[in-house]
Amino acid sequence: MSKKVVIIGAGHGGIQVVASLREEGFEGEIVLIASEKEMPYQKPPLSKGYLQGKQSEESILFRSANYYENNNISLRLGEQIVKVNIAENQVITDSGEVISYTHLILATGANNRKLTSDGVEIPNIFYLRTLTDAQIIAQKLENSQSVAIIGGGFIGLELAALASEKGKKVTVIESQTRLMERVLPAVISTVFQQTHEQHGVQICLNSHIEQITEEGIQTKEGFIQADLILAGIGVIPASSLAEEAGIICENGVVVNEFQQTSVTNIYAVGDCANHYNVFAGKNIRLESVQNAVDQAKVAVSHILEKPQAYRAVPWFWTNQYHLKLQMVGISVGFDEYVVRGESGSDKFSVYYFKNKQLIAVDSLNRAADHLNARKLITAGISPTKGQIEDLSFNLNNCL
């Protein structure tokens, strides 16, 4: 029987599945289903270049419209899948249409966690995920003088940076003791905090919200007036379709090293996939371009019977003002770190070790360190402390 691959979701994961299938010479049917009506686009620029006004809607498209036609891909925009029937190998759309598959890819991503009060979503808070969200936020920003942002993670801080660059009075409310605490060490959090403060952003740490009204936010520490309230407080994996179909889910869709779910001809890739990550040493979900793209390639390799297990080194980035932070590896659990460049400045890298092994590197405005570190960690090579600290030493010589 010839293969027919159906993909639900047209973010980085879904698009990479399509692209890799055709690049690898797959000639069977491909159906790409997206719940949004827009031509598939990239989400990372929404909180960066797009809302800054530097990137257009056209420039963030993955492919031009004729790509799908030229590559014989059935692109179905604005359609929701309401059910996966694993016994019949079929998905059912919201209009009742039945689409059969031999291989199904869940690239459904994640949804924003919302603030609730007594189980009810609190109104007048805006969240960023889709292009539509970004268009609404762009318009709201224009008509607002003061902006309160709930959550001092990547999204919240990228929004804070671009809002303050637009001349808004910005306040960031974070319940933890420092910015981006979950993923970054204090030495880097501090640089970001200082930079935001230099741009006039008020950062409230250890801050706990008591009430949100149309006028602003009441915290235990005081009242923050805001014309616009934005929130970036994490995500919930979009796994309900899988759960309802009886596929094993736990913090997302559980997959093996080939991205297969508990149903062997159904795969999950990207933000929604709970996988064992060798660099984390445990089961995790990763919300990143790298993870979506590399897992898509793994799923395709398995469908095409040239299986390659998932073993890609994780990397991430964030842009705020002139600060470009690139992260590689998972630094959680490090027992030692070494700094290359001037610690606390706006240009240095932090090398994290665990049991003498290099496990992660965060590079602030040091792009070459980042690319080198990706190679080092992939190859399992650990430079010495002296080599890292010596700026005249070229770390590419370790490879």
Partner 1 sequence: MPIITYIQNDGTEHQVSLPMGATLMEGAVQNDVKGIVAECGGSCMCATCHVYIDEQFLDLLPEMEEEEAEMLEGASAEIKPNSRLGCQVRVSPKLDGIIVRIPEKQ
Query: Residue numbers of the site for partner 1 (CB under 8 A)?
Result: 23, 42, 44-45, 48-49, 55-56, 58-64, 67, 70-71, 289-290, 293, 317, 319, 324, 326, 365-368, 370-372, 375, 396
Q: CB-based burial of residue 253 (10 Å sphere; 0-12 exposed, 13-18 middle, 19+ buried)?
A: buried
Instruction: Identify which of 5, 4, 62, 67 has the alpha carbon closest to the alpha carbon of residue 36.
Output: 62
Pairing, β 348-354 against β 29-34 = unpaired
What 3-state DSSP class applies to 15? helix
**Residue 28 vs 49, nearer CB to partner 1:** 49
What is the DSSP secondary-structure string of 243-271? HHHT--BSSSEE--TT-B-SSTTEEE-GG
**Residue 66 vs 116, nearer CB to partner 1:** 66
**Residue 23 vs 243, nearer CB to partner 1:** 23
The minimum distance between CB 18 and partner 1, in angstroms, equals: 11
CA–CA separation, 253 and 143 (whole Å): 40
The minimum distance between CB 246 and partner 1, in angstroms, equals: 34
**Residue 16 vs 219, nearer CB to partner 1:** 16
The minimum distance between CB 61 and partner 1, in angstroms, equals: 6
**Residue 23 vs 142, nearer CB to partner 1:** 23
The minimum distance between CB 367 and partner 1, in angstroms, equals: 4
Is there a contact between 110 and 287 (Cβ–Cβ < 8 Å)? Answer: yes
Phi, psi of 242 (to 5 degrees): -65, -45
The minimum distance between CB 67 and partner 1, in angstroms, equals: 5
**Residue 42 vs 108, nearer CB to partner 1:** 42
Is there a contact between 145 and 227 (Cβ–Cβ < 8 Å)? Answer: yes
The minimum distance between CB 35 and partner 1, in angstroms, equals: 21
CA–CA separation, 271 and 12 (whole Å): 10
CA–CA separation, 285 and 270 (whole Å): 8
